[in-house]
Structure 1
């Protein structure tokens, strides 16, 4: 079973001991949007380039490869 982008981000965030609120503060992305990303629920995000920016910033904040995260996101849309 393959791990989803949202799961990867959540696991990395938890491994760094960060809360959603802490990542939201660091990235300036709404905690609500970060929760949607962790749940792979991209329909509730603004869309387009904003989503890519959110994924990239989230990945960077939790120590994941940004380009790999964007690649995973591209596979979902």
Structure 2
């Protein structure tokens, strides 16, 4: 996995609790390793922009910002 890669979330994610909208895909915005580790060790977290595969748009929150969310690597798979 690398920055810019499209990934599938193994469980759909709902960014807004009062909305029925869920996301199953994301684009990697960043990769976080523990302080004493680096590639090829596994990352601690993968930071994503949520992505709608149908509309080909990145999720924008109520403030109009492209929000980012962190997931563990085992919660994702490359597309």
TM bucket by the smaller chain? under 0.3
TM-score, with length taken from structure 1: 0.25
More helix by share: 1
Q: Quick check: which has more Rg, 1 or 2?
A: 2
